[in-house]
Structure 1
Amino acid sequence: MPVKTWDMGVRFTHWTVAGIVVWNLFGPTDQSHRVLGYIAAGLVACRIVWGFVGTPYARFSAWWPTPARLKDYARSLAAGKPLHHLSHNPLGGLMAIALWLLILALAASGWLMRSDAFWGEDWLDNLHTYLSIALQACMCVHILAAIIMSIWTRDNLIGSMLTGFKRDPDNR
C-alpha cells in the first residue's frame, strides 16, 4: 500500500535544484549561472529549514544518518537484505547532506569570486572548480545508487520523488 512520504515542497526543491545544477554544470557561466546558483542555495536553505519544521518524512529526525543508523544499514546491505525506510535510508541521507553542503559551498565561493576582496584570486576559482567536480561525482553516485536500490529493493525511489508516494512493505 503506498504511503505519502515526500511532500510537494521536498519534491519541488529536489527537482528544481537538480535542474539548476545540471544547467549550471553544462550551461554558460554568465549572469544566469550566478543567479541560478543563488536560487539553488536559497532552495537548499529552505529545505534545511523544512528539515526541522516540515512534514514527518521530510524532517531530519526521520532520516538523519547517525552512526548507529549507518551501521545497521551497512549490516543489512552486507547481508543482502537492505532495511526499508519510508524516508531516506541512512546512506541516502548522508548523500543529501553532502550534496547540500557542496551546493552551499559553490554558492559561497561563487559569491566570493565576485567580491572586491577576492576578485581574480586563482585559488578561489580553483576551489569553485573542485567543488563543481565533487558535486558532479556525488550526483553520479546519487543517481546510480537510486537506480540500483530501486531495482534491488523493488521500491521505485525515482518514481517516489516524482509522485510523493513510497511502498510500505509493512502495510500491503
Structure 2
Amino acid sequence: MTDTLQAGGVRREDRIKVWDPAVRVFHWSLVTAFAVAYFTGDEAETVHHWAGYIALALIGLRLVWGVIGTRHARFTDFVPRPAQLQAYMRQMLRGREPRYLGHNPAAAMMILFLLLATTVIGVSGWLLTTDWGWGSELLEELHEGTVNITVVAIVLHVGAAIYESIHHRENLIRSMFTGYKRAGK
C-alpha cells in the first residue's frame, strides 16, 4: 500500500491530522456523559450523579489540554477576537465563510458556551446534593434551565456541523472520529 491509495474517498496525502486523540476522546466522552445524565435524571439518581461528575472531570481535563495540548486543541488556536467573530459572522450570513482547518470562530464560541453551560449544570447539580443546596428551588431552576438551553445549543451545534460538512464538502462528524480533515482548501 502506498500513500496514494484512497482511504474513505480521500487520498492519504490529501489528509491532515487535526484532532488529536485527547480532543476526540473528550468530545465523544462528554457527549456520552451528557446523554447518560440527561436520560437518567431522577429515575437512576446514582448514574445521573456520576455522569455529571464525569462530565465535570472531562471539562477540567479539556481546560488543561486547551492550554498545553496540540495546536488545534489549544484555545489560543481557535478562540477568536471579537472583530474576527464579527467578520466571520458577516461572511457566514452571505454564505461565503471560509473553511477552517481547526474550529471556525462561530464553532469556537459554541464550544466555549457548551463548556461553560455543562460546568454550570454539573456544579449546580452537585450543589443540589449538598446540605447548602438541597431543596433550593433557585438551584433546581438554574440546573434544569441550563440543561434545556444546552440541549438547544447541542442541536444547533450538530446542525452547524452538518451544514459546514455540506457547504465545505467535508464530513466534520467523521473527522471527530478519525482526527483527519482534508488538507487543501
Aligned with residue 65 of structure 1, among 74, 80, 85: 80
1:58-97 deviation per Cα after TM superposition (whole angstroms, max 9, x unaligned) = 1111100221221221232233222111110000000000
Map 1:19-58 to 2 at 5 A. 19-29=32-42, 30-58=45-73
Give me the TM-score of the superposition, normalised by structure 1: 0.94
Q: Tell me the C-alpha RMSD between the 2 structures.
A: 1.2
| Alignment: residue pair count | 170
Letter in 2 for 1:15: W
Aligned with residue 94 of structure 1, among 109, 120, 125 = 109
Unaligned runs of 5+ in 1: none
The AA in structure 1 aligned to 2:149 is: A
Distance in 1 of aligned mates of 2:126 and 2:20: 31
Q: Which fold has the larger relative contact order, with Cα–Cα distance below 8 Å and residues 6 or more apart in sequence?
A: 1
CA–CA distance in structure 1, aligned partners of residues 84 and 16 of structure 2:
22
Q: Which of the residues 124, 130, 133 maps onto 2:145?
A: 130
Moved over 4 A (4+): none
1:25-76 per-residue CA deviation (whole Å, 9 max, x = no partner) reads 1224311111110111110111111111000111111100221221221232
Shift of 1:134: 0.9
Whether the 8 Å CA contact 1:63–1:89 is kept in 2: the answer is yes
Q: Is the 8 A contact 1:82 1:153 kept in 2?
A: no
Query: How many Å separate the matches in 1 of 2:26 and 2:40?
Result: 20
CA-CA distance at 1:152 after TM superposition: 1.0
* Corresponding position of 2:171: 156
> TM-score normalised to the size of structure 2?
0.88
Aligned to 1:15: 28
Q: Secondary structure at the match of 2:19?
A: coil
